[in-house]
Structure 1
């Protein structure tokens, strides 16, 4: 993901005449359409959507066209919502960022704080590898199963907490489990009550496979088959984990559309969910044990300097899906792209959208 930040910086500092900025985005979109990009792009500034367009297919099998309001699997963009749940628990006095994980969850890995989990500095091993090796894939696993297998098999940690940054889905499984422990509530229900409903995010939820199938506006993820045709990603064996790990909570599984994500983006400038002081902590890079910065906060990658000042962002990837949200905090500029055919043009559109964010 760091290479994407470098691309944004490179493109953002090129001086482009204002009259050419919209043309750059238009040409990038036209190229993407010619090359079969399927997705939705939204560009906004100062609480106003400047550009929104859908292209491609909701489902290739029946040639159903994609629309701006269609719902996508967000994959790891979900982590920013999990981090917010922890921040809300902290403001409610239910936990502290520097509390030890062992205060809430029993694991064979001592010395890990809630802050380590939020910032991917825990050193925890990958839960999916352990589950893939030992789990009966005729059953659907959830967080309690993942925690049980981590305790039973206790794979070796990658490093001591705080020594370095290493992206960890395991850490975000544990964060969701901590939320359930301190609230006594189901994480899925609580996220709906604490975040989605208050912000009017009517199209956003953590959905089961059955619930996704019942949503007519759900954009299926697609991959190319051996003949070069786009087919539903669930037909590939490599996608099976989304089924047998289908009850996991925390690292992914939120589904939403572009306009709901924009509501979320705008709410983060307010104190509707947590205080601005807590949000500032979320946008602060973690200091590692050796004094260097990891540049990941609470569910956000952080770049202190960019073409438009401080930038935070996150990407997501699931079979057939690529997603990204880029937020220029100092100028309230936002780029959201949701893609459902794992297309290589994704970042080219981000670059073009960044270039377009001048005067419209």
Structure 2
């Protein structure tokens, strides 16, 4: 792992990788800096990007939402073609919603939840019939967060705090779209960070630490905080409407690697990268955050850590 960490050993970027071993012990490896003079540690707050999606998935499971309900039942301002988009389509990225590029043409000044929802309302047709294809998109999870707000009558950031972060002891984790948390590592100077523009909630929006993300992993492992119903829902891959199976569950990728089941998800935004990986059959997991948007580097780093844990 040392070679893969070398590029982070700089005053303007850093990374933290925290692992849970088979015997239950925890180790962390860090390199670089959150900002000049301040080392990047397992307690450094950084941006979770699309790792946030599985937090939305768990909230949906805890609220026991009707996944066959039309998204337009909850968000009536969406266009009529959205009548056929079920919540399960959004969870599995099969809803046919316009992609990021098409939506950004309709919202040139930033990427925030209200703007995305307004842009969706102006789209005359879906990319494809709901349930016909699997194409990863961000707008679906923005819609899901908005639906959960209406189901619960609670702003999504407060809902996630009440259902997830407080019960799990994730004291340094929160959803925040309007301002970078004061304690957060700034985006790496090489990245074109999104602030002070607001960000969206659902497809991203969560800020956390590698240590807190390990608590998140623990809660979703067998015997963890969340009960079997929630864990099963969140980790059950979806399918197209014709029955074609997918390798994506509720904000979680579900694959087999080196003969073992792997649950994982990553994410990036200019200036930050995040990834969580769980191997439930072995009881091991990895959580990593960095303040530089180098997805291949963090994937290589977490995969190497995961393979090393699995081989022991």
TM over 0.5: yes
Secondary structure of the structure 1 residue equivalent to 2:83: coil
1:44 aligns with 2:20: yes
Separation of aligned partners in 2, 1:141 and 1:280: 32
Deviation at 1:211, TM superposition (A): 5.2
Structure 1, residues 262-304: CA drift from partner, whole Å, max 9, x if none? 111111134644x31332132122121333212100010111x
Q: Secondary structure at 1:278's aligned position in 2?
A: helix
**Which residue, 260, 265, 274 being the options, matches 1:314?**
265
1:282-321 equivalence runs, <5 A: 282-303=234-255, 305-307=256-258, 309-321=260-272
Match for residue 10 of structure 1?
Answer: none
**What is aligned with 1:325?**
276
* Match in the other structure for 2:138: 169
User: Counterparts in 2 of 1:115-130, with a 5 A limit?
Assistant: 115-126=88-99, 129-130=102-103
For residue 71 of structure 1, the aligned residue among 45, 48, 55 is 45
1:133 and 2:108 aligned: no
Cα distance in 1, alignment partners of residues 107 and 310 from structure 2: 51
Per the normalisation by structure 2, the TM-score is 0.88
Q: What is the TM-score of this pair, normalised by structure 1? A: 0.77
* 2:116 aligns with one of 146, 149, 160: 146
The gaps in structure 1 that reach 5 residues or longer are 1-24, 225-232
Segments of 4+ moved more than 6 angstroms: none
Return closer, same or farther for 1:292/1:136 CA change in 2, 3 Å cut-off.
closer
Deviations 1:79-117 (A, max 9, x none): 011111111111xxxx31222222211221221111111
Q: Does 1:353 align with 2:282?
A: no
Q: Are 2:181 and 1:194 aligned?
A: no
Counterpart contact for 2:13–2:188, Cα < 8 Å = no
CA RMSD of aligned residues (A): 2.6
TM superposition shift of 1:63: 3.9
How has the CA–CA distance of structure 1 residues 127 and 147 changed in structure 2, closer, same or farther, with 3 Å as cutoff?
farther
Equivalent residue, structure 2, for 1:85: 59
- Say which is worse superposed, 194-203 or 279-288, in terms of deviation: 279-288
Q: How many corresponding residue pairs?
A: 307
The whole-number CA distance in structure 2 between the counterparts of 1:150 and 1:97 is: 20
Q: 1-side partners of 2:266 and 2:92: how far apart?
A: 15
2:168 is paired with a residue whose SS is coil
Aligned pair in 2 of structure 1 residues 287, 211: CA closer, same or farther (>3 Å)?
closer
Q: Measure the CA separation in 1 of the matches of 2:13 and 2:113.
A: 35
Which sits farther off after the overlay, 284-293 or 253-262?
Answer: 284-293
Q: Distance in 1 between matches of 2:239 and 2:111?
A: 34
Q: Distance in 2 between matches of 1:103 and 1:209?
A: 28
Q: Map of 1:251-262 to 2, 5 A cutoff? A: 251-262=203-214
| CA gap 1:27/1:134 in 2 versus in 1, 3 angstroms | closer
SS at match of 1:334: strand
SS of the residue corresponding to residue 191 of structure 1 reads helix
Structure 1 pair 210–162 and aligned structure 2 pair: CA distance change class (3 A): closer
Query: Bigger relative contact order, structure 1 or 2, given CA contacts below 8 A and separation 6+?
Result: 1
Map Cα deviations across residues 51-72 of structure 1 (whole Å, 9 max, x no partner). Answer: 202111112xx34322221011
